[in-house]
Amino acid sequence: MEEKNEQVIKYRQVMGNYPTGVTVVTALNDSEQPIGLTVNSFASVSLDPLLILWSIDKNVGTYEEFLKTDRFAVNILASHQGDLCTLFATRGEDRFAKCEWEQSALNLPVLSNTLAVLQCKTYRQVDAGDHMILIGEVVDIQNADKEPLLYHQRKFGEIPKSFYN
């Protein structure tokens, strides 16, 4: 048992030291209310068809609601949107009352001023331990000329200037 805990600690150290971007995945639930959470498990999967994935913890409050939706939006945060990363990861916050967003033509809640938005149709749901992997087919792409928000060791930041030299 102890060995397993040690493995979990090491695993968390390794994954925490792996830098990522930050997204907020949003959808509408059965009652047409917007739902959303901060997600960094987002990854590209396929070009033909255009597929992406993210995984949701089965303990997330809106887990069942996300499983029922047939579409979702991946809002990729820009470097100035660290507050949205925190807002959409904080329990008990009225998340959509505290940020700017609009309903898209595909009837998805889309956050304003992000780096990019990928609107997706649910393609597959794959059960994976304490998470469910949601694979989406990208049906609409919005892209802005902005820098991404980065996440590393529980802190967020922007791409260092040295990267651009």
**Cα(23)–Cα(163) distance, integer angstroms:** 21
Least Å distance, CB 39 to ligand FMN, is 4
Q: Are strands 43-46 and 155-157 parallel, antiparallel or unpaired?
A: unpaired
- Does residue number 57 form part of the binding site for ligand FMN (CB under 6 A)? yes
- Does residue number 62 form part of the binding site for ligand FMN (CB under 6 A)? yes
The phi-psi region of residue 39 (left if phi > 0; otherwise alpha if psi is between -120 and 50; otherwise beta) is beta
- Does residue number 76 form part of the binding site for ligand FMN (CB under 6 A)? no
Applying the rule CB under 6 A, the residues between 136 and 155 that interact with ligand FMN are: 151
* Structure tokens, 6: 């040690």
- Count of residues in contact with ligand FMN, rule CB under 6 A: 18
Cβ-in-10-Å burial (0-12, 13-18, 19+) of 3 comes to: exposed
Q: Given candidates 26, 27, 28, 39, which one binds ligand FMN under the rule CB under 6 A?
A: 39
Binding stretches for ligand FMN (CB under 6 A) = 22, 37-41, 54-57, 60-62, 85, 88-89, 91, 151
